């Protein structure tokens, strides 16, 4: 398919120029949807962290003149914290399983709802790390993500074989992270964070190439509904790559309050 695009031949009535235009529009939708999801996530996280902390003294002091409000206690110091922590993971599995039964428009709305849920889960980073540190690591992540995604899009090397190894790595990270919740080992946390950066860096390039190749393969069918949902799933995958790489880099290099 990629050779077809380069040589300008025509198949099933689609010219190389039409394919290029369609691919650019598809990728723009992927990155646009992902970017909106990112904005929703960080807006929700920042807003909720401000509601969870006040200067009014309570029994839960977390810093100089900083105390958890009733909402903060519920989110971070009660059993509800486990729901907040694992809700995004459950949401991803449910969304992936149900997307074939959704319209593209519904899938996009669900993705934005998921982004807000992720924001709730990530709100604690504003209590743990300095604002400057969060902004600095976010910028580093954005630069690294852009470079990796561009490479994944432009490389002629087939990296589809990376998929199974990277997914196994993600499963290993999830298991190790859950175990370390109860162990609390700094060494395990460091190892998980370092490996996590590498794994999600690889997934960024892999997912970008997969999104491109999936479009090229399916564009000939002309199924716009499928392509619409494919863009949403592509945005979800790249969104998760970015968020996870950001969190692991923050754990490695972030300055704590």
What confidence tens digit (pLDDT) does each residue in 79-136 have? 888 888 888 888 888 888 888 888 888 999 999 999 999 999 999 898 889 889 999 9
Helix (H) or strand (E) holding 135: helix 131-154
The confidence band for 56, taking pLDDT boundaries of 50, 70 and 90, is confident
**Matching residue, tokens 């996280």:** 45
Residue 10: pLDDT above 80? no
What confidence tens digit (pLDDT) does each residue in 200-236 have? 999 999 999 999 998 888 776 666 777 888 899 999 9
Longest dimension (CA), the chain: 71
The confidence band for 11, taking pLDDT boundaries of 50, 70 and 90, is very low
Distance CA 227, CA 57 (A): 53
Task: Output the DSSP codes for 80-109.
Answer: HHHHHHHHHHHHHHHHHHHGGGS-HHHHHH
Residue 39: pLDDT above 60? yes
Residue 59: pLDDT above 60? yes
pLDDT for res 34:
96
Determine the structural domain holding residue 225 and report its residue range. 2-253
Residue 14: pLDDT above 70? no
Q: Which of 20, 2, 229, 196 is nearest to 106 (CA)?
A: 229
Token couple for 206: 């892999």
Q: How many domains does the chain have?
A: 1
Average pLDDT over every residue of 170-183: 90
pTM: 0.87
Do 45 and 126 meet the contact criterion of CB atoms below 8 Å apart?
A: yes
Residue 9: pLDDT above 60? no
> Where is pLDDT greater, at 86 or 138?
138
Q: 79-83, 144-148, 160-164, 216-220 — which is least confidently predicted?
A: 216-220
The sign of the torsion formed by the CA atoms of 115, 116, 121, 122 equals positive
pLDDT above 90 covers a percentage of the chain that reads 50
């Amino acid at each position: 398919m990629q050779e077809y695009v380069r040589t300008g031949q025509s198949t099933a009535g689609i010219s190389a120029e039409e394919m290029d235009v369609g691919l650019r529009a598809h990728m723009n939708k992927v990155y646009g949807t992902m970017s909106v999801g990112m904005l929703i996530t960080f807006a929700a996280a920042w807003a909720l962290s401000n509601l969870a902390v006040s200067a009014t003294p309570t029994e839960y002091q977390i810093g100089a003149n900083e105390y958890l409000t009733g909402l903060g206690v519920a989110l971070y110091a009660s059993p509800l914290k486990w729901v907040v922590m694992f809700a995004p993971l459950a949401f991803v599995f449910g969304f992936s399983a149900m997307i074939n039964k959704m319209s593209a428009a519904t899938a996009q709305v669900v993705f934005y709802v998921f982004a807000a849920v992720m924001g709730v889960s990530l709100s604690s980073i504003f209590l743990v790390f300095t604002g400057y540190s969060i902004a600095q690591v976010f910028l580093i992540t954005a630069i690294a993500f852009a470079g990796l995604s561009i490479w994944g899009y432009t490389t002629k090397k087939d990296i589809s074989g990376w998929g199974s190894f990277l997914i196994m790595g993600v499963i290993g990270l999830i298991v190790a992270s859950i175990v370390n919740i109860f162990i609390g080992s700094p060494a395990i946390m460091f190892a998980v964070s370092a490996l996590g950066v590498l794994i999600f860096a690889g997934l960024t390039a892999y997912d970008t190439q997969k999104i491109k190749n999936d479009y090229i393969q399916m564009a000939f069918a002309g199924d716009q509904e499928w392509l619409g949902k494919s863009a949403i799933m592509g945005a979800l995958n790249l969104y998760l790559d970015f968020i996870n790489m950001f969190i692991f880099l923050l754990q490695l290099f972030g300055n704590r309050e």
